[in-house]
Amino acid sequence: MSSPAGARRRAGERCVTLADRVDAAAAESIAVRSPPTDEVIAQVPDCSRDDVETIVDRARAAQTTWTEWPVEKRVAVLDRFCDSLLEHRRDLLDLIQLETGKPRHNAVEELLDAVGTCTYYVDTAPKLVESERRSGAFPAITDARVHYEPVGVVGVISPWNYPFNLSLTDAIPALAAGNAVVCKPDERTPFATLFAASLLEAAGAPPGLFAVATGRGETTGPALVDAVDHISFTGGTETGRAVAERAGQNLIDCSLELGGKNPFIVLDDANISAAVRGAVAGAFANAGQLCLAPERIYVHESVYEPFLAELCSATESLSIGFEFGYGPDVGSMIDGDHVDRVDGYVQEAIDDGASCHVGGRRRPDVGPHFYEPTILTGVDPDSRIACEETFGPVVSVTPVKDAATAIDMATNTTYGLNGSVWTTDLGRGRHVATSLDCGTVCINDPYLVGWAALDAPMGGVGDSGLGRRHGPEGLRRYLESRTIATSRIGPFVSPSIVPMGLYARALVGSARLQRRLTRLKRRLSPR
Ligand code: NAD
């Protein structure tokens, strides 16, 4: 491995070159800082509404070529792109680390997610975009075929916490389906997405097909929503509402992947050491800046004491810091405002009577935006920290008398993104899982087993979002269906020689016959 200083310098130089890829005449620019040091890495254009329109027009032109290519040729480009992600992994991991301040193992998660998503859709997209035969209005004399067309240009708005994979995980199926994509990454983390755009073009995609519009959320974001045919948004719930309102005004479809307040339930028969490993890996992944991270742990009272003791000891042993290598367990948070926000929640909880067992402190000695992994108990269930997403390295632990109480407390929230259940009885785990109002529930794992099930839909309910990514659902949202129905006997109107009453009775008779046939079919092949 090269020296950390060398990695930082090379990644910084690459950022300056990548910023030139943005097709903007923008007068304004944004200084992007590296969180572990707060130093400016490079400037990127702050795209105006005109810039966004230019970028989308260019993407639209590129899409007309792309969509004419057979799907096999499109996925071949994505396949080469996937190879190049693995080939350039060191540069990519350096870049992700430089702009987020996360540990290298969390950057690897981003790479592997993008590679897995590419591999999945390269394999499945050709089938998913194929036309289908459906039942016609009347068997034999009519038929119906459904054709799938790309919607056009998809806008992807992504957040800073996993900037690389959260841009790509929604962009890849959109591209495979024949769309162009214009991505607006968070203004704090644009470079990994710009790098992806350069690699995709090198893999053979038409120039401008996957474009990046850098800029501020409140200006470039709405301009993008106004210019595209579908918006795929990942970010906070309040921003998601604003995006959905705007998409509604424009009558375009949108998918929203929003925040969570994820419960983690430890049942009395759980393997305590495994649950502790899962809690630490989940709650403090990416310094807790992970939408799927558990923030509320409910533990059966019979195992509460040993669980808490082991959790505290495992958390105390985590190392905090930053290096371009597989070093510290917990990295930097994104910026000073976010550290202030998280610390504000923690201090307020302590003022309200919660006990802080581990952490609860900033670490300016390590770097400007580091915060210690924090464990709280005795949190008031109506307090801000219990109800609102913290999005930092903070978790609360609460004893419960039984599984039903855990379910009640877990579901007492407006969010519904990800839940986790820990038990040695998998049947019991699945039963508890079905009672949680979450888009995903993981048994004996904090989040990865659900996220990595790329064939299964993923997303939130309630304040956690709308629509699903991953699986067939993750691609079909970017397709418009067109039904072509054919009559083999001419128009379905009453023939002039048949009286209207007789014709109507014939239709009712036919409806009855169809109902009988459907019932018979159900009886012959019950579900
Ligand atoms: P945010 O909503 O402030 O920003 C997300 C993106 O939206 C950024 O690119 C930002 O520039 C842009 N944006 C801001 N205002 C906008 C507007 N008015 N119109 C259009 N775009 C706008 O999110 P954040 O707080 O920085 O990110 C963290 C949040 O993201 C957390 O709530 C987290 O749970 C959520 N998140 C969800 C998922 C998921 O898959 N469900 C994944 C990661 C993060």
Taking CA atoms only, the protein residue closest to ligand 1 atom 34 is: 259
Within its chain, how far is the Cα of 449 from the centroid?
Answer: 14
Taking CA atoms only, the protein residue closest to ligand 1 atom 30 is: 235
Q: 234 CA distance to ligand 1 centroid (A)?
A: 5
Nearest to 91 by CA among 183, 184, 12, 209: 12
**Phi and psi of 453, rounded to 5°?**
-80, 75
Nearest to 256 by CA among 277, 275, 236, 273: 236
Token code pair at residue 405: 């109480």
User: Distance between CA 148 and CA 469 in Å, rounded?
Assistant: 18
Alpha helices in 211-370 (DSSP H): 217-227, 237-250, 272-283, 304-316, 336-351
Candidates 44, 157, 246, 466: which one to mutate for ligand 1, based on the most atoms within 8 Å of Cβ?
157
Q: Looking at ligand 1, which atom is closest to the CA of residue 459?
A: 41
- The CB of 288 under 6 Å from ligand 1? The reply is no
Q: How many CA atoms lie within 13 A of 484 on its CB side?
A: 7
- Check residue 461 and give its pLDDT: 97
Nearest to 255 by CA among 182, 154, 179: 154
- Check residue 526 and give its pLDDT: 75
- The CB of 291 under 6 Å from ligand 1? The reply is yes
Token code pair at residue 365: 């000695």
Q: Is 442 helix (H, G, I), strand (E, B) or coil?
A: strand
C-beta of residue 406 within 8 angstroms of C-beta of residue 265: yes
Residue with tokens 């993407």: 59
User: Distance between CA 329 and CA 316 in Å, rounded?
Assistant: 11
Tell me how crowded residue 190 is: count the other CB atoms within 10 A of its CB: 31
- The CB of 46 under 6 Å from ligand 1? The reply is no
Within its chain, how far is the Cα of 7 from the centroid?
Answer: 28
Annotated catalytic, 47? no
User: Distance between CA 2 and CA 504 in Å, rounded?
Assistant: 81
Q: Do domains 4-130+148-258+472-477 and 262-457 have the same CATH topology?
A: no
User: Distance between CA 284 and CA 330 in Å, rounded?
Assistant: 7
C-beta of residue 476 within 8 angstroms of C-beta of residue 306: no
Q: Looking at ligand 1, which atom is closest to the CA of residue 259?
A: 34
User: Distance between CA 51 and CA 44 in Å, rounded?
Assistant: 13
Domain ranges, ordered by start, for the chain? 4-130+148-258+472-477, 262-457, 491-519
**Phi and psi of 274, rounded to 5°?**
-65, -40
The architecture that CATH gives domain 262-457 is: 3-Layer(aba) Sandwich (3.40)
The alpha carbon dihedral of 511, 515, 521, 527 has a sign of: positive
Token code pair at residue 490: 């001419």
Helix axes of 163-176 and 191-202: crossing angle, nearest 10 degrees: 40
Annotated catalytic, 442? no
Nearest to 366 by CA among 320, 435, 415, 313: 320
Q: Looking at ligand 1, which atom is closest to the CA of residue 187?
A: 11
Pairing relation of β-strands 262-266 and 294-300?
parallel
- The CB of 417 under 6 Å from ligand 1? The reply is yes
SS (H, E, C) 178-213: CCEEEEECCCCCCHHHHHHHHHHHHCCCCCCCEEEC
C-beta of residue 395 within 8 angstroms of C-beta of residue 297: yes
User: Distance between CA 85 and CA 96 in Å, rounded?
Assistant: 13
Mean pLDDT per block of 10 residues along the chain (527 residues) reads: 78 89 86 96 95 97 97 98 97 97 97 98 98 91 96 98 97 98 98 97 98 97 98 98 98 97 98 98 98 98 98 98 94 98 97 97 97 97 93 98 97 97 97 97 97 97 97 98 94 85 91 91 85
- The CB of 220 under 6 Å from ligand 1? The reply is no
Tell me the β-bridge partners of 154.
Answer: 181, 230
Instruction: Provide the whole-model pTM.
Output: 0.95
Q: 185 CA distance to ligand 1 centroid (A)?
A: 9
C-beta of residue 153 within 8 angstroms of C-beta of residue 60: yes
User: Distance between CA 338 and CA 436 in Å, rounded?
Assistant: 29
Residue 450 is inside which H or E element, if any? Answer: helix 448-451
C-beta of residue 99 within 8 angstroms of C-beta of residue 92: no
Tell me how crowded residue 221 is: count the other CB atoms within 10 A of its CB: 25
* Amino acid occupying residue 509: G
Alpha helices in 45-162 (DSSP H): 49-68, 71-87, 89-100, 104-128
Using alpha carbons, list the distances in angstroms from residue 225 to 213, 254, 335, 452, 493. Answer: 12, 9, 26, 29, 44
Token code pair at residue 92: 């990519």
C-beta of residue 448 within 8 angstroms of C-beta of residue 471: no
- The CB of 194 under 6 Å from ligand 1? The reply is no
Q: Is 499 helix (H, G, I), strand (E, B) or coil?
A: coil
Residue 172 is inside which H or E element, if any? Answer: helix 163-176
- The CB of 342 under 6 Å from ligand 1? The reply is no
- Check residue 2 and give its pLDDT: 58
- The CB of 286 under 6 Å from ligand 1? The reply is no
Q: Is 46 helix (H, G, I), strand (E, B) or coil?
A: coil
Q: 237 CA distance to ligand 1 centroid (A)?
A: 8
Q: Is 484 helix (H, G, I), strand (E, B) or coil?
A: strand
Tell me how crowded residue 37 is: count the other CB atoms within 10 A of its CB: 16
- Check residue 498 and give its pLDDT: 87
Among candidate residues 109, 110, 187, 257, the one labeled active-site is 257
Among candidate residues 82, 183, 254, 291, the one labeled active-site is 291
Rounded (10°) CA dihedral 382, 384, 388, 393: -120
Residue with tokens 């993750």: 474
Candidates 165, 189, 239: which one to mutate for ligand 1, based on the most atoms within 8 Å of Cβ?
239
Q: Which CATH superfamily is domain 4-130+148-258+472-477 in?
A: Aldehyde Dehydrogenase; Chain A, domain 1 (3.40.605.10)
- The CB of 391 under 6 Å from ligand 1? The reply is yes
Residue 10 is inside which H or E element, if any? Answer: helix 4-19
User: Distance between CA 217 and CA 36 in Å, rounded?
Assistant: 23
